[in-house]
Amino acid sequence: MKIKAGIIGGAGYTGGETLRLLLNHPQVEVAFVQSRSQAGKPATTTHHDLIGETDLIYSADFNQPVDVLFLCLSHGESKKLLSEHSFAANTRIIDLGNDFRMGDKAGERKFVYGLPEFQRDKIKQAKNIANPGCFATTIQLGLLPLAQAGLLTEVHTTGITGSTGAGQKLQDTTHFTWRANNISAYKTLTHQHLSEINQTLKELQLAFGGEVNFVPWRGDFTRGIFVTSVVTSALSLDELTKLYKDYYASHPFTHVSDEPVNLKQVVNTNKCLIHLEKIGNKLAVHSITDNLLKGASGQAIQNMNLMLGFDEIEGLRLKGSVF
């Protein structure tokens, strides 16, 4: 018997990708997709890639009982929603915003930080999940093995993301004439994902007293994140490669590549690919993801699989469009 899923905030990018994945998940029936702005219209009105895949109509409300509820809302909206509406205690909630990543609760609902490569066993026991941010996911996956081994000192990180990372609403820095042939830095050293990154790293490496110095860039493409983190390390490249491969050996979506990596390998997949380079005592860790999948909706489905006892890769066997 299939579980029932609902989506609140289904008209945006993460709502659309969550819907796309759930429609193709063999264990799931989508009970409703809610959108205040698009209520009464077909879901394909905003998600043209789903023409022929679904006849679902956006609903204005979300009163149907479901087993799992995905909140694909703007930051701050999930906390507001859960303060104004109650859901059955046995309904699992996965929030794709940043409202609960730092341990905040919604009434009696406690949220577990949903980075499987960090705490898969806790996710399996969780009732509510705070899905990590896209940059936070990509940066952390590049640093977790070092933190667990107690090898992190100060980190210098640069990451570039596609325009979908800014959401579907048109902004000055997302329309074509601004993005085309253009790159810019933003939120230098102040990005909102730094809090959750530091929280995780300090939990793994209690003595981590360094900083993650993060400079994010806007890129001239739609999907994907490419991050490079530079740290100091006395270990050889062979020793570091073994450390990383051992850490991720049991994780189906994160892989250490001996060859240089590029975004096309991960776009439209739930993968994170990592490549290491060592020059002198400096280690450069390159990590890449699709910001809408492993950085958002794909990871949300991965968390759902773990919570409900499904195969972790169920519904996520996706191929990158490398050509």
- What's the domain range around 234? 134-289
Query: For 275-282, what is the mean pLDDT?
Result: 98
Residue 128 predicted with pLDDT over 70: yes
* pLDDT for 166 beyond 70: no
Residue 178 pLDDT > 80, yes or no?
Answer: yes
- Residues 274, 153, single domain; the answer is yes
**Does 167 lie in the same domain as 111?**
no
pLDDT given for residue 304 in this prediction: 98
Query: Do 111 and 140 belong to one domain?
Result: no
CATH code: domain of residue 217: 3.30.360.10
Question: Strand, coil or helix: what is 277?
Answer: strand
Average pLDDT of every residue of the chain: 95
Residue 102 pLDDT exceeds 90: yes
> Residue 15 contacts by C-beta under 8 Å, 6 or more apart in sequence?
7, 9, 33, 35, 70, 72
Least confident of 2-16, 77-91, 172-186: 172-186
Count of domains in the chain? 2
Position 223 in a domain: yes
- State the CATH number of the domain containing residue 119: 3.40.50.720
* Beta-strand pair 272-279/282-289: antiparallel
Determine contact, residues 253/265, Cβ cutoff 8 Å.
no
Residues 279 and 178 in one domain: yes
318 falls within a domain: no
134 carries an active-site annotation = yes
**Same domain, yes or no: 163 and 75:** no
Look at residue 203 and tell me if it is in a domain: yes
Q: Report how far apart the first and last C-alpha atoms of the chain are (Å, whole number).
A: 38
Q: What percent of the chain has pLDDT over 90?
A: 90
The answer to whether position 188 is within a domain reads: yes
234: pLDDT strictly greater than 80: yes
Angstrom distance (rounded) from CA 161 to CA 168:
14
77 and 178, same domain (yes or no): no
Query: What predicted TM-score, i.e. pTM, was given to this entire model?
Result: 0.96
Write out pLDDT tens, residues 60-72. Answer: 999 889 999 999 9
Task: Judge if 155 and 300 occupy the same domain.
Answer: no
E strands, 64-198, are 68-71, 92-95, 112-113, 128-130, 155-161, 184-185
Q: What is the mean pLDDT of residues 57-85?
A: 94
Cα 88 to Cα 91, 155, 187, 230, 303: the distances in Å are 5, 43, 39, 46, 19
Query: 121: part of which helix (H) or strand (E)?
Result: helix 116-125
Would you state the pLDDT for residue 176? 84
Q: Which pLDDT band, with edges at 50, 70 and 90, does 300 fall under? A: very high
Average pLDDT over residues 294-314: 98
Across 151-167, average pLDDT: 91
Residue 16 inside a domain? The answer is: yes
Same domain, 285 and 138: yes
Residue 170's pLDDT is: 65
Domain assignment present for residue 322? The answer is: no
Q: What is the pLDDT of residue 323?
A: 83
Query: Is there a domain that residue 313 lies in?
Result: no
- The residue from 33, 56, 81, 134 that is catalytic is 134
Whether residue 125 sits in one domain with residue 174 = no
Q: Quick check: is 229 in a domain?
A: yes
Q: What was the pLDDT predicted at 209?
A: 84
Confidence of residue 171 (pLDDT cuts 50, 70, 90): confident
pLDDT in tens, 242-260: 999 999 999 999 999 999 9
The answer to whether residues 248 and 203 belong to one domain is: yes
Task: Let me know whether 182 and 249 are in one domain.
Answer: yes
Report pLDDT for 321: 86
Q: Do the beta carbons of residue 113 and residue 130 sit within 8 Å?
A: yes
Query: Same domain, yes or no, for 150 and 272?
Result: yes
